[in-house]
Chain A
């Protein structure tokens, strides 16, 4: 019997329990993540704070591995925590699991009421702040103003929550700090790329001070992805949304599309192609330049 078949019997056909054959069973704890993902860094912070050793597996989200698909068949997303090859998914749920299994340095408050409050704000921030901020970055004109206003209303709630505290967790960082830890680094880049300022010392002084304190904590600092790579990534995402058009595809021009596939496979053709990523960056920069020229002439 293969490991997969064995597991299937054990868990009565619940597919997502099946341990993928490709994973070697050295190391109890594994994290499947994407280097730039703010949802994944949360998990690494939590494990490092608890002193848990883990193996990190980088996932190419444009070409999802069998390991990821087997571990998270429902959503096929990162992060995934594998503990004894058992997969746990959804970043906030993973934080709760980590806190329950490794009890030193608790992340969540012990008091049920305080715990409920922390859970509420983490959920709120993920729903309203992350997507609110990114939505505002992507929007243009009047829509951008409206989206920014709405996002700032959400941040205003967080400003109130940090009042009188060093960290959202109190004297030390906790679950909510990790859940909001995208603000100092990722939001900063989103704001630069999206050309707007949502959180600054003027609007939200207390939140701003928290971001400075948080980012200085050594364990936090060492897990941050390189700023430049984040800038490139968000810039590319932004233009993909803005550029966002398909001129030649299999539906509109099937014969032409087939030719592109044949042509690109010819070895001599293939070996002279410039790196796609560099092309994306180049066109992205050109797009922004043209846009800014247009804007300044209006």
Chain B
């Protein structure tokens, strides 16, 4: 079996996605912690385009962009499938994997204040409402009875986005406005592989608060 290495950063939800997928597939890997304030030569070599983590290196070959990595893992280790086998269901799953991820309003929410922040919060609420109503529906998980790549893709909402909400001082995900998503979060965090593979919540909150301070200072300039 060829060597598997993961270059990640402990508070990053993007590298966490990859950890969850590898664990669910029972793939052994070596984890390499990257200091993103002082990026290693190796990281820059593996990801010259974005210079970001996570990077999965399989048999010396690098794969970058967390969602691309998830698909790669699914294809390379097809046991315990994390995507539907039916082409149409797969297309739907992929749609929801991509939906809402990497929308500028999340970045704005983290960085802005005042009116801009309010607007971003509203946009995020709309996105999450659609995710909840049309993506999740009445299901326990996006994957049905068990989690799949869609759950993993949105798995940053508990803990990570919750920490950002706390750091910013604005709560978007209320159980009253997003009841189904709230229930999904409770169920998701109970799944063994997820529960056993989470960074320290307090440490993540401290990290997000520090970032928030920095953003607010820069944003007003």
Give chain A's interface residues, CB within 8 Å of chain B. 12-16, 73-74, 83, 86, 88-90, 93-94, 96-97, 100-101, 112-113, 115-117, 119-120, 123-124, 157
Contacts and interface: CB of A to CB of B under 8 A. Distances in A.
Given A12-B138, A16-B134, A74-B130, A97 B64 contact: no
Interface residues of B, number: 25
Given A74-B134, A100-B90, A113-B63, A90 B98 contact: yes
A16 to B, nearest CB: 6
Nearest to B98: A90
Nearest to A97: B91
B134 A116 contact: no
A147 to B, nearest CB: 17
Interface stretch (B10-18, B22-30, B66-74, B148-156): B66-74
Contacts of B61: 113
Contacts, number: 61
Nearest to B127: A74
Contacts of B76: 112
Contact of A96 (B49, B68, B72, B91): B91
Interface of B is mostly: helix
A123 B99 contact: no
A120 B65 contact: yes
Given A88-B88, A123-B68, A96 B134 contact: no
Lowest 4 CB-CB distances: which A-B pairs, in order? A112-B75, A100-B87, A116-B72, A97-B91
A120 B134 contact: no
A46 to B, nearest CB: 14
A119 B71 contact: yes
Given A89-B95, A120-B65, A115 B138 contact: no
B179 interface: no
